[in-house]
Structure 1
Amino acid sequence: MPTPLFAIPLWIDLVAVAIGAIQGAMFAGRFTDRRMDLLGISIIGITVGLGGGLLRDILLGGVPAALLSNWYLPVAAVFALLGMLLQSLFNRLGPLIITLDAVTIGLFGVIGTTKALAAGLPEIPALFVGVVSAVGGSVLRDMMLNVPIAVMHVGSLYAVAALMGCGLLVTLVVLEVPITAAAMICVVTTTVIRVLAARFGWTLPQQRAIGSWPHWRRRGSIQPLRFWPRRRTQAHPEPTVTADR
C-alpha cells in the first residue's frame, strides 16, 4: 500500500520558500566583487527557495509544484530582494533565521521523502529524494556562484541533519507510525540537529587516510593486524679491510 502524502498548507510552503530566498540573497550579498544586480540576486534567491523542490519533482518525473501556482516565483523573488536590501537587519536576527532555516530543511525533507514513498519508490531511493529536496537549493546556489559546494566540505551539519531526519521518517513509516506524527518527529529531529550543530560548531571529521591519523602508531594504541610476523633481518657486518704490510 503506498504511503499517504504528507500535505502542508500552501502558506507554510511559501514561508519555507521565503526563508530560503532570504538566505540565498544574504549569501550572495557577501560576494560584492561579483557586482551582481537586482536580477542576479533575485535569481539566486529563487534558486535557493525553489531549487530543492524543482530537483525533487524532476527526479520523480512530474511537473514541479512551483510551476503549478502563481505564488511561488513572486514570493521567492520579492523575499530575495528583501534579503539583499535588509541584509544588516537579517544578520542581527541570525539565530532566528538559522532556526527557521532548520525547520525549512525538515519540511522540504518530509515533503520530498513522503512524495517519493507515495509514488511507489523503495525506502532508500525515497530517502535520497528527501535529502535532495532539503539541500538541493544550496547546492545549485554554490554552483551558480562558482564557490565550493558547502554540503561537501567541513561545516555545520546541514546535509547530515536532513539525512538523519529523513532516515528517521522512513524508519517510522516502515514501522507503520501515522504519517503526520512521523513527519512532525522528522521536522523536530532535523531542526534540533541543525540548530545544535550551528550553535556548538559540530562538524564531521575532515577526510584523511587511516595511516595519516595522528598518533596512529603511538605505543598502546590499536595497531593494524598482521597475519605474518615481520622478518627480522640481521645487518651484515662490513668486511674489515686490513692494510698490506
Structure 2
Amino acid sequence: MITTTFQVSLWIELFAASLGGIHGAMFAAGERRRRLDVLGVITLGLTVALGGSLLRDIVLNQPPVVIWMNWYLVAAAAAAVLGMLLQPLFTRADGVFTVLDAIVMGVFGAIAASKALALGVGPTGALFVGVIGAIGGGMLRDLILNRPISFLHVGTLYAVAAGAGVVSLVVLLLLGAPIVVAGVVCVAVTTLVRLGSVFFGWTFPEQRAVIHPREPQ
C-alpha cells in the first residue's frame, strides 16, 4: 500500500498551466484555416492548460480545483493571450517549446498520480489517472477542433511517455522514495520518452493483422 500526502506548490501548478496556455495559443496559430478569434485562442489555451486537471478531478470525484481556485483560469488565459501576441518569437524557438511541452506533460502526470495515491487509489488506478492528467488537455483540444486524437496515432508516444513517467513514480513510492524524488523522476522519464519520439523517431508498434485473408481465386 502506497501512502503519500498530496501537496504541490501553487506556483508549480500555475507555471504548468501557463505553459499549457501558451501551447494552446501556439497550436491555434497553426490552425489558420479555422480563423480562430481572440476568444477562440483563449478557449483553446484554457482547454490545453486545464483540461487534464479537470478530467483528473472528475475521475477522482473531487471538486475541480481549476474552477474553485481563480488563479488557474487567470494564469492560463493570460498565458494564452501572451502566446498569441508573441507567436512569431515562440515559432523560432520551436525546439525549446517542444522540451517545455514535454516537461509540462510530465508535471501534470506526476501531480495527477500523486493526488490519486493520496486519496487511496491503488497503483493501477493511479497510473490511469496520471495518464489522464498528462494528456487530457491535448485530447480535449483535438475533440474541440474535430481533429484526430493525437495520442492514438503512431509516432506521438504521448500516452506511452506519460505512462512510463507515472509507472516510475509509483514504483519509486513503493520502494519508499520521497515524493519529491519520485515526482522529479516521473517528469524526467516522461520528458525523455516524449523527446525521443520527436527527435529520434521512436514509435510504438503499429497495429497489424495477425492472419491475412486469403486472396480470392
Say which SS state the counterpart of residue 83 (structure 1) adopts: helix
2:112 is aligned with what amino acid?
G
Q: CA deviation at 1:52?
A: 0.3
- Displacement after TM superposition at 1:211 (Å): 3.8
5+ residue gaps, structure 2? 213-217
Offset of residue 6 of structure 1: 4.6
The one-letter code sitting in structure 2 at the alignment partner of 1:122 is G
Name the structure 1 match of 2:132.
132
Cα contact 2:156–2:197 (8 A) shared by 1:
yes
Pairing 1:31–2:2 present: no
Q: Percent identity?
A: 50
Q: Could you list the runs of 4 or more consecutive aligned residues of structure 1 that deviate by over 6 angstroms after TM superposition?
A: none
1:11 match: 11
Q: 1:98-151 CA deviation, whole Å, 9 max, x = no partner?
A: 111111111111111111111111110110000000000000000000000000
Q: Which moved more, 1:175-184 or 1:134-143?
A: 175-184
Mapped partners of 2:185, 2:106: distance in 1: 10
| CA distance in structure 2 between the aligned counterparts of 1:147 and 1:85, rounded to whole angstroms | 25
Letter in 2 for 1:127: L
Judged with a 3 Å threshold, the aligned counterparts in structure 2 of structure 1 residues 97 and 5 are, in CA distance, closer, same or farther, namely farther
Check whether the contact 2:150–2:156 (CA below 8 A) recurs between aligned residues.
no
Give the drift of 1:2: 5.6
Q: Shift of the alpha carbon at 1:83?
A: 1.8
Inter-partner Cα distance in structure 1 for 2:188 and 2:33: 38
Distance in 2, Cα, partners of 1:3 & 1:98: 33
Letter of the aligned partner of 2:3 in structure 1?
Answer: T
Coordinate RMSD, CA, aligned: 1.5
- Unaligned runs of 5+ residues in structure 1 are 213-245
Distance (Å, rounded) in 2 between the aligned partners of 1:106 and 1:33: 31
Answer yes or no: is 1:119 the counterpart of 2:115: no
Q: 1:205 is matched with which residue?
A: 205
Q: Aligned to 1:147, what secondary structure does the other structure show?
A: coil
Q: TM (normalized to structure 2)?
A: 0.92
Conserved in 2, the CA contact under 8 Å of 1:3 and 1:118?
yes
Larger radius of gyration: 1
Aligned mates of 2:16, 2:56 — CA distance in 1: 15
Residue 68 of structure 1 deviates from its aligned partner by 2.8
Q: Does the aligned pair in 2 maintain the 1:106–1:186 contact within 8 Å?
A: yes
8 Å CA contact retained: 1:19, 1:101? yes
Distance in 1 (alpha carbons) for counterparts of 2:49 and 2:177: 30
Q: Structure 2 counterpart of 1:14, which letter?
A: L
Q: Provide TM-score, normalisation by structure 1.
A: 0.82
Question: Which residue of 2 is the match for residue 141 of structure 1?
Answer: 141
CA contact (8 A) 1:25 1:41 kept: yes
More helix by share: 2
SS of corresponding position for 2:70: coil
Counterpart residue identity of residue 51, structure 1: G
